[in-house]
Chain A
Amino acid sequence: MRPLTLNGIRRMRSFFRSLMLGSSLAATLTGCSDFLTGPKLQNDPNNPTAASNEALFVASQVNISVQLESRLARTICIWMQQCAGQTQYLSLGSYSVGEDDYYLNWSAFYGGGGLLDLRTIQARSLQSGDSLFWGTSAVLEAFTIGTTADIWGDVPYSQAANATIATPQPDSQRVVFAAIEAKLDSAIAFLAATGPRNRGPGANDLVYGGDPTRWTALAHTLKARYFLHVAPRDPTAYAKALAEAANGIQQGNDYAVALSGQGATSSDLWSVFQSIFPGYLVAGSFLVNTMNGPPADPRLPLYFAPNGNNQFVGADPGVPGSPNLLSTLSSTRLNGAFSQPFITWEENQLITAEAAYQVDHSDAAHTARNALQAVWTANGVTLSMPAPGTPGPNDPLLQAIMTEKYIGNFQNIDAWQDWKRTGIPNLQPASGGVIPRRLTYPLSERNTNPNITGPGPAKNWNDP
């Protein structure tokens, strides 16, 4: 190209060329104001920008059930020796866990599908005047946060899932449980409301079909459960638990989540886990030996499948065994559509039994034994009812109550709380180890929340 010189500019003759040059420059500089904005450029075209309370409620119910059937539940099942880990899960039985292994549970309790969305539902229900929806979602909130406090002790609650607080302060476990009791009291009051605005979740309730009576009973059982959980620090809580359990879940009305069982993303997670990781999870020797009796517990074949020798055999914690010689979960429990119970009439009965026993040992023979007998009868158990002995952890009646609860709470993480509280059953840890009594705060939370500095204590407040 010949360079442009000053002379050259003067000699420039073609007006047309200048015009063209100018117009092309103009074209590049104008006419593009809407190029960067508009449909699919700013707003995500792939996801809804609004969600109904009904849709949030369905997801919240699914979320809680997923968390309580996740690796968290498999871990507790192994630690409580109801299950045993084999192969890749063997080291779980020696209590070897990473510092962030349960972060997904922690974040799910607080985030979408957890506290965050449950609070959204409640705020909107207050605005629209739907007391039933407020009440049901408040019960779910209490269940969610109660579980969180059971596991980690002092946890964020009053400041959690709040858009204006980036790093929530933990509340002490005592305060959290007190707040949960208050929340459940409000929920019970709201659930009693009537009127055309009180629609509730209705058919979008996966468990109770929106029935406020059953939600109210559930709230009472939850209240009873959490009173028991603070009882080691507050003996008066036994009486409160007893009173709440009286209005608790009726037989046949368990809070048990059943998914359709159609495929991996809508099947019970125990079955999904087994189908992908066969042999990782087998029967735990302690539970199997307890149920083998004699007399054999009639629930045994419902829980476990017999081994290759047609016997029920569990593995000891942290000890490898031959898969063909060990029992796995039963086909009942491995059905994708299995209705996984989380809070049951049996638990309510056994809360009554334990609380009655603790409140009044002289009356315990009556109330506690009746409650235990009802559970046994319902399950076809034919043990002979022990007479109450010297009050204490070795009392055969308390042993019978808590053992029955240990069996009934198979695959339920509440078994861990009962064991910590009563020391029943008397589990022997895997060789060289100590059974953990709480989970450490997840590393990811510690990395981001200066209010939670270390892994936390070895035991929670309610586990003195």
Chain B
Amino acid sequence: MSPQPCALLLAAVLVGAPFSGVRAQQPLSLSGRITNEDGNPVATATVAIPALSLGTTVRSDGSYTLSLPDRVKGQAVMLSVRAIGYKPVAVQVAIGETGATQDFTLVANPLQLGELVVTGAGTETEVEKLGSVRNNVDSALIARSNEASVVNAISAKAPNVEVTSASGDPGASASIRIRGANTLGGDGQPLFVVDGQPIDNSVSTTASLDPQTGGPQGGVSSPNRAIDINPEDIESIEILKGAAAGAVYGARAGQGVILITTKKGRPGATKYSLRSSFSWSDINRFPQLQRQYGQGDGGLPDACAQSSATATPILDCYATEDTWGPALPAGTATYDHAGELYQTGFGSDNTLTISGGNDRTTFYVSGSLLNQNGELPGPNTSFNRKSFRLTGDHRLSDNLKVGGNVSYTASQQYAVQKGFNFSGITWGGWRTPPEFNNLDYVTTPDSVQRSFRFPNPSFGNVDSTRGYDNPLWSALNALSSSIVGRTIGNVSVDFTPWAWLKLSYTLGVDDGTDSRLQGQPPSTSNTPDPRGQVIKQTLINTQWDGNFLATANYSLSQQVKGTFSFGQNLNSRSFRQQGQVGNGLIANQPFNLSNASTFPPPKDLETKIRTVGYFAQSTFDLWDQLFLKGGVRYDGASSFSTNDQWAWFPSASAAWQFTKVTGNFGGLLSYGKARVAYGQVGTQPSPYLGATIYQSSLFNDFDAFGTGSSQNGLGGLFTPNVKPATSLKPERTKELEAGVDLGFFKDVADLSFTWYKRTSTDVILLVPVAASSGFTVEGANAARIRNAGTEWSLNLRPITRKSFAWDVGLTLGTNRNQVQDLLGAEFVNYGGLGGGIQGGPQAVAELGQQIGAFRDYDYVRCGRGVILTDGSGSPYNVDANCTPAQIQSKALFIDDGTLVNSAGIGSNGPGFPLLDPTQRVIADPNPKWTGSVRTNVRVGNFSFSGLLDVRHGGQVWNGSRAALNTVGTSAESALRGQSVVFGTNFLPGAVAGPGAGTAATLDQGWFANYYGWSFASTIGQPFYEDGSFVKLREISIGYSMHNRFVNRTLGLSSVDLRLAGRNLVTWTNYTGVDPETNLAGSETGARGIDFFNNPQTRSFVLTVVLAR
């Protein structure tokens, strides 16, 4: 970081000044023991005497000791005790000559009332004072999820927090969407904050360096960088969903905030914990493939492929990629291309933690080692993470505490090729004709790649592309690695000059370097030069953050009290990326740039963004039942236009514990709170959108490769297609949320309901402009998007006995999204490249639709005003030949073989539908509602738990099925030669048109041109399938031992065993791999695209926790 004088100055003031507060120690003390109703020590409790600014954490046996100043001798002090999961208590204690003793018995607090909640930027409040909904995920839930990434761990834990993992590959990214999409650029991911330090959670693909291997649809499933946090280190997560909650983060909270608090040490005996888990995973679902027909076209075998079977096969010949050959003779060996490559993946995860301390100093140390191997053979699919963390704090004096926290993570991902990619494992694998043996993937003795399109290569063709790589060859030979070293840490100072005022400063850093290497050996099908390719790339992310907070308590009377906080935040983010592609390997190995023969222009990119924020907030607690809060943040950012560099983000909320007035309705309603909150948050523009530049880059072709603007040693520059923006300010989301939190029957049940409506304006859009003006897009604050929805959570605790407890939790979230304004455009591409597959869906933000809706092509249907041309060249109005009922049902219009569409394309023949050449919105990936059901049963030392994840509605484009229809390997394509009648036994539904009821024979031409996917395809509609699912996300049984044998013989305090299943069952009508998939991962906001993505996994996990 370049020096930030203001930040350093502030830190110096805070560190240097306050030693005046050090006091001499007195022998007077207050001590006691804190237990719960079962008599067990509550080791997580903290005791405090607020009036004296004294406080400590209890020891592991529940005991505590506070040293008191001499002046309180003979007086009474107010002593308060808090512990997560227990109701807070405060009592007056009379201090005698040598002090006093005070024990506490804490009672359970299922509604968490009185517990402190972190609310961002250093602020905290009590649960009952929150004016917005609280969503919290604690360490037990995180541990039970058995996920390597914290993002996956919060899946199905809170309503309207949708987590989608890109694929089952080790280390694959997962994305979060909170209360719907409200931005159009970027990845739409929330801000991640760890112990006050914002961290990088970006995802980047190596393949994006190469114009051919393409953007996020190809390459490999790269991780999002929150995976560098060891979930075992996390104490709790607060999800700040709405604008009122997030407003303290101003222009960075537009997509929500995930506040992560890591574990800390506690005074008392040093505690040791070793958590080891071992997992066995496999693929959860496969597509259906046909095994009756062989390679060839038009019912004829392919000569080249046929010759494989003869004594002297034709060498070096290309076979067709189609499987439209004859029926395979009985007895022909066929292979299960869907599942044959996959095996059981093994993983292990070990974390050792040591924590402890004394009344003044605590520490927490952890080290962990995670190894996950994927389900494909070979070393190229794994994720490994080594991490350690040290957290410590020390009370220098009664009013001054310093602390620090540092973690280092070394993450390594090795991934296989996926998706829209000729080296993709499933793209090559699933389209292989059933009679070709992919396991025989190289020739003997030359070891040259064999594939179904190049079945008999000679050594002379070691360098030729195979059209599609043999998936086993690709898995074993193509390398893509990401090696990350990352440090996240901070130092903090807390100073309490007077009992009513607390000052704190936190200075933190997140610094990571990601070294990428991708190599494709000669004969690869996915690079512009079939002699192979090597890509090296370095990504460096650095983020500094300084956060100052002053909080003053005030009390005007017994009835009116509150706090006032003022803060300042300085943030600097820089990102550097350097990459070089080398094409045409000279020798087969190594994957090193010096072994390449040609070099496209390098990538050399640097971006820097700085943000300054000031914030102030004030709370008013009235009559101990009405809690008001008002706040404002004032943000400036370097990526705002200089003429508009600052923005205000106000927020306000009210919470009213109405049961203090209404009573508890005879015990029915033990707690009731109504709340309402309003706030504004923002999203920063990308940097440099206003700069006028020229670029030396590539001119791209529609088929996704480019030619450099510099040629033959002459430098070429051209004006980019992005018109320089004239003025940019942050996107702004204004949100009103209201709800109730209710506790029933002495807290046996609780219900939380929230309604919200958020309108995002000034949404930054690369607004499409008329290309004939010289540019295609211009950055502008242009769009308006609305999200509205409800969130429900219900928790039931029917049995809470010491040896038998049962609880159930349900969540439900609904969200409706609407694009309301696009500055005149009808639609814009959404999520960058999410839908960027030629001939495939176009994910768009279209006026009046939900974000991410798919524009694609359908067949001609009634009710759309389609005009055809008949055999004599005259116009033929479709709707004039449909009945009102058929118009209503958008009946499929069947041709009698005489009509052509407006593009001059006829149908496959009489009885078939025609293609409608007009692209329209025909599908929507957004679910109608999402929910979860969680339960936990404890019987003695046994515990059982389960979690169901439910998604209802939302469509997924099953592009794999579409493409396999075209090439003839899908199960559906085995219908070839069958005579069908549209509407009755094929594509059931209403039909109209002169050819309705005519029998039609399904043939290759139908599948290839009218019922499939190809580069030049114009049909999408049949492949949008319902993506609803119910998933058994987690199920586990655990046994906890803390008996004499464990204590005496093993010398441990407890041993916990748990056997868990993860994603064991998925109930869905979706016919592809898994409706939870996203080809481009968390890189784009687009959802619901399944195109030869690598499949999802399920796993069994055995966990042993040894504690001492």
Contact = CB atoms under 8 A, between A and B. Distances in A.
A432 interface: yes
Interface stretch (A51-59, A227-235, A404-412, A414-422): A51-59
A17 B10 contact: no
A8 B500 contact: yes
Given A31-B6, A44-B691, A63-B699, A265 B707 contact: yes
Given A28-B614, A59-B709, A71-B703, A14 B212 contact: no
Contacts of A100: 919
A76 to B, nearest CB: 13
Interface in B684-742: 687-688, 690-696, 698-703, 705-721
B642 A433 contact: no
Interface string A85-119: 11111111011111111111111101111011100
A45 interface: yes
A245 to B, nearest CB: 30
Nearest to A59: B716
Contacts of B551: 1
Interface stretch (A256-264, A346-354, A368-376): A256-264
A60 B715 CA distance: 11
Given A113-B709, A160-B774, A322-B304, A101 B568 contact: no
B687 A41 contact: yes
B771 A106 contact: yes
B1017 A264 contact: no
Interface string B219-248: 000000000000000000000000000000
Given A265-B211, A265-B708, A43 B688 contact: yes
Interface residues of B, number: 153
Contacts, number: 453
Given A27-B9, A278-B465, A166 B553 contact: no
Interface string B667-688: 0000000000000000000011
B768 A263 contact: no
Interface in A427-447: 432-436, 440, 442-445, 447
B827 A321 contact: no
Nearest to A36: B638
Given A31-B6, A98-B1018, A166-B770, A46 B604 contact: yes
Given A44-B693, A264-B705, A447-B825, A168 B773 contact: yes
Given A41-B687, A96-B1016, A117-B719, A28 B212 contact: no
Contacts of A161: 772-774
B768 A35 contact: no
Interface residues of A, number: 139
Contact of B612 (A12, A25, A36, A259): A36
B857 interface: yes
A265 B303 contact: no
B707 A266 contact: yes
A325 B303 contact: yes
Contact of A58 (B525, B608, B710, B839): B710
Interface stretch (A236-244, A269-277, A382-390): A269-277
Contact of A112 (B503, B583, B721, B773): B721
A111 B771 contact: yes
Q: Which of A66, A112, A440, A444 has the most CB of B within 10 A?
A: A112
A432 B905 contact: yes
A55 B902 CA distance: 43
Given A43-B691, A62-B709, A161-B773, A96 B13 contact: no
Interface string B405-444: 0000000000000000010000000000000000000000
B769 A55 contact: no
A110 B772 contact: yes
B958 interface: no
Contacts of A435: 904
Interface stretch (B293-301, B587-595, B927-935): B293-301
B403 to A, nearest CB: 18
B776 interface: yes
Contacts of A323: 302, 304, 317-320
B434 to A, nearest CB: 18
A458 B717 CA distance: 37
Interface in B640-690: 642, 645, 687-688, 690
B332 interface: no
Contacts of B314: 308, 324
Contact of B497 (A21, A103, A272, A324): A21
Contacts of A51: 694, 717-718
Given A111-B771, A322-B297, A28 B702 contact: no
B621 to A, nearest CB: 10
Interface in A288-345: 308, 318, 320-325
B37 interface: no
Contact of A115 (B303, B500, B774): B774
B701 A155 contact: no
Nearest to B307: A324
Nearest to A98: B1018
A168 B498 contact: no
Contacts of B503: 21, 24
A58 B714 contact: yes
Interface string B513-535: 00000000000011111100000
Contact of A2 (B50, B691, B703, B709): B50
A394 interface: no
Contact of A433 (B320, B527, B609, B904): B904
A13 B566 CA distance: 23
Given A46-B605, A89-B1015, A272-B528, A324 B599 contact: no
Interface in B275-296: 296
Contacts of A113: 699, 709, 718-719
A161 B770 CA distance: 10
Contacts of A320: 297-298, 320, 322, 324, 1004, 1008
B553 A71 contact: no
Contact of A111 (B304, B453, B775): B775
A1 B50 contact: yes
B701 A269 contact: yes
Contacts of B771: 103, 106-107, 110-111, 442, 444-445, 448
A447 B642 contact: no
A28 B568 contact: yes
Interface stretch (B14-22, B156-164, B484-492): B14-22
A48 interface: yes
Nearest to B557: A5
A378 interface: no
A458 B900 CA distance: 14
Interface string A14-37: 101100110111011111100111
Contacts of B298: 320
Contacts of A434: 900, 904
B907 interface: yes
A357 to B, nearest CB: 31
Contact of B500 (A4, A168, A203, A452): A4
Contact of B528 (A21, A204, A263): A263
B919 A41 contact: no
A275 B528 contact: yes
B695 A36 contact: no
Contacts of A440: 903
A340 to B, nearest CB: 12
A24 B568 CA distance: 11
19 contacts: A1-B551, A1-B553, A3-B553, A27-B10, A87-B321, A91-B1018, A98-B1018, A100-B919, A107-B721, A107-B776, A111-B771, A156-B770, A166-B769, A206-B711, A265-B707, A275-B528, A322-B304, A432-B905, A443-B919
Given A25-B566, A322-B320, 16 more contacts: A8-B498, A24-B14, A35-B612, A42-B691, A51-B717, A55-B694, A88-B1016, A91-B1008, A95-B905, A97-B1016, A98-B1018, A104-B700, A273-B703, A320-B298, A447-B826, A452-B770
Q: What are the 6 closest A-B residue pairs judged by CB atoms, nearest first?
A: A264-B528, A263-B598, A2-B499, A112-B719, A434-B904, A59-B716
